Structures are given as structure tokens and as C-alpha cells.
Amino acid sequence: MNDNAELPESRSKSGKNSEGESSTEASSGPRGPEVGASSTAGQILVPVFPKWVGVVPFFMSAFLYLSGILSVFSPVPLIILYYYTNKKPLYFFAILTNLILVGLLAGLGSAGIFMILVVSFVLAFPVFARRKLTVNQLGSMLLIVLLASGWALMVGYGLAARVNPLIELRDFIFSFLDQLLQSLPAESRTALLADIEVVEWKQGILREFPSAVGIFAFFFVVINLGVVLRLNPRGIRFRLGLPPYYFRSWKAPDWLVWPTLVAGLGTLMDWGWGSTVALNGFRFFMAVYALQGVAILSFFSDVWGLRRWTRSLLMGVALFVLSPLVLSLGFFDLWFDFRSKIRQS
């Protein structure tokens, strides 16, 4: 799809073109959206916000983070502020006020997690978005920043408290699992353990914890990157060369299949810690292919002309009931290319 076709054109109110003809734009009446800086593909229309909107970014990220269910969208208000303000110190001050609010209302632990997920994301996004990166490269860099920030915070805490951060993390996970088991009824506890000793069950959770963190960070980046590109502040999506519905044709890199196969083989072997690393890697790679499966389903929904509520129902059933099908669509798309077959038919 040609990006130029998606960009709004600057026209005069009289309907005349700009090739030497006069414009009859009236000076009275409300102004429309102001025209912002032009990109290489055309001019970007910048909306004019009411003045009271200016205070929202100074607390909205903290509000979303503390709301629980909406915490995954916490970076979005600060990203929007970055692209719609010319005063960059104001942007950094908004980050600081949100961090202070989280620390005051939820404690230092929540503030640390806010620094990892939100602060590192909103500081890194503009830096990498200015570079000529593909959407896969941009997402990968943001994911690396999140994971590196988490590791740096753990190391810093260990040095400051003179403790081993990995042991502290293990004890925290075990304490949380003990509280979880104690809060469950006897029947639910038995069904959860499934004839496995409590110690063995906790060790299994600990073994798969790295992949759980990686998968959460991966989808955190995917969701926020998708929302920001959908909102398209200052034409950021056009600068990256992406059409509005780029996700429907998105696919994982072809080379990813090889580490996935190696990791899958490692889960079947008895390699000690090597098998644990392979298991976590395989789970993470499957999450990437699950996202590709969702993109394929989104493409099918568009081809079939499904309405919005029908698409939502299809996605819900596919993710929560037919998740192996979604994984298979994403993984085997490398060989079968389902979307091209649908186009040909």
C-alpha cells in the first residue's frame, strides 16, 4: 500500500489548488487542525487540543499504572506528550511527576517496576523511532531496553542492599506461591498441584519464570507500539513507512524458525540447565509465533468482511479455546504462506 495515499492533503477552503490560484480562506470562525511539520511523504495535520488537556500527561500514566487492568497502556500518554510538545523539559518533568505519584501511592517497589516498564520505554521510543528501523527492529530494541533496565535495577538493588538479587527474587517468588496456596480451597489446591509435591511445583514455576517475564515484556512492547502507531502522533507511522493496517501482513523473521527448532529439541533432551534454557527460549519463540497467528486471523477477518464484534468473538475463541491452532498458523506460515493462498483464491 502506498503511504502517500494515506496522508491528508492541505487544501484551501475554496477548493482551489495551490498552483497559483488564490485562496479564499476566511479569517473568522474556528480554525481546523493546524498543519504540522511535513514528512517526506506529505504534510501531517496536527490536532489542536484544549488547554486543560495539557495537565493530563502529568498524572495519567500513573493513574493507568495503578488501575491494574489498564496498566499495560501506561507509556502511551507520555509518548503522545513527547510528540505534541515543543518543550522537552516539560516532557521529562511529566515523567518525573508520574514516577513520584506511583512511589507515593504504591511504594518504592511499584515505582521500581514503573521505571522498568514505563520510564525506560518512553525514553527509548523516541530515540529508536528517529532511526531508519523496521517495525521488527524497533520492537526488538525496545524489548532489549526493558529487559536490560530490569536487570540493571536488580543489580543496583543487590549492590545497594549487599544481597544476592537472584536469591532475593527466588525467595519472593516462593513466598508469593506459598501465600497463593494458602488462600486456595483444598479442592482447588489439589487440582493445581496435580499430585506433584509442593517443592517440585515451586521449582517448576521458578524454572519457567524467565520466559514468563520475557513473554510479558514482549506483549507489553507489542501492545504499546501498536497503540502508538495506531494513534500516529506527528505521522510517526508514515515516517516508519508503515500503512495503517500493517499488522495484518506482519510476520516473524524467517530465521527465527531455526532457534525455535533447536530450543524445541533441547526441551526433549536431558541437558540439565541447558534444557531449562531451551524450555524458556522455546516458550518465548512460541509467543512470537502466536502473535503471527493473530495477524493471520486478522487478515482472514478482513478478507471475509467480518464485523467488529464478530472479529472480537473470533479472536477471543481462537486465543482462549483454540490457542494451539493460533500457534500452528503462525509457525507453519513460513512454509505454507496462508495469506498469499487466500489472495490467490
**Distances 68 to 61, 71, 175 between C-alpha atoms, Å:** 12, 5, 22
* Residue with the larger pLDDT of the pair 325 and 345: 325
Residue 42: phi and psi, rounded to 5, are: 155, -160
**pLDDT reported for residue 23:** 39
The 3-class secondary structure across the chain, one letter per residue, is CCHHHHCCCCCCCCCCCCCCCCCCCCCCCCCCCEECCCECCECCEECCCCHHHHHHHHCHHHHHHHHCCCHHHCHHHHHHHHHHCCCHHHHHHHHHHHHHHHHHHHCHHHHHHHHHHHHHHHHHHHHHHCCCCCHHHHHHHHHHHHHHHHHHHHHHHHHHHCCCHHHHHHHHHHHHHHHHHHHCCHHHHHHHHCCCCHHHHHHHHHHCHHHHHHHHHHHHHHHHHHHHHHHCHHHHHHHCCCCCCHHHHCCCCHHHHHHHHHHHHHHHCCCCHHHHHHHHHHHHHHHHHHHHHHHHHHHHHHHHCCCHHHHHHHHHHHHHCCHHHHHHHHHHHHHHCHHHHHHHC
Most confident of 24-28, 168-172, 298-302, 323-327: 168-172
For residue 21, what pLDDT band results from cuts at 50, 70 and 90? very low
At 133-148, the pLDDT tens digits run 889 999 999 999 999 9
**What b/e sequence results for 30-50 when a residue is b if at least 16 CB atoms lie within 10 Å of its CB, and e otherwise?**
eeeeeebeeeebbebbbeeee
Average pLDDT score over residue span 143-170: 91
CA-CA-CA-CA dihedral for 258, 260, 263, 265, to nearest 10: -70
pLDDT band for position 118 (cuts 50, 70, 90): very high
Select the more confidently predicted residue: 289 or 16.
289
pLDDT of residue 123: 94
Give the C-alpha separation, 119 to 92, whole Å.
Answer: 10
- Tell me what pLDDT residue 52 has: 53
Which residues make Cβ contacts (< 8 Å) with residue 106, sequence separation at least 6?
A: 66
| 1 CB neighbour count, 10 Å cutoff | 11
Q: pLDDT tens for residues 50-61?
A: 665 567 778 899
Residues near 268 by beta carbon (within 8 Å), at least 6 away in sequence: none
pLDDT tens, 235-294?
888 888 888 778 888 889 989 999 999 999 998 888 888 889 999 999 999 999 999 998
Which residues, at least 6 apart from 125, have a Cβ–Cβ distance to it below 8 Å? Answer: 75, 79, 82, 142, 228
- Determine contact, residues 145/115, Cβ cutoff 8 Å: no
User: What is the C-alpha separation between 237 and 242, in angstroms, rounded?
Assistant: 6
145, 124 Cβ separation under 8 angstroms: yes
Strand partners, 45: 35
Rounded-to-integer distance, Cα 156 and Cα 338, Å = 47
- Residue whose C-alpha is closest to residue 134's, from 240, 1, 39, 254: 240
- Strand pairing partners for 46? 34
- pLDDT greater than 90 at residue 307: no
Q: What pLDDT, on a 0 to 100 scale, did the predictor assign at position 24?
A: 39
CA distance 327 to 314: 15
Cα(176)–Cα(180) distance, integer angstroms: 6
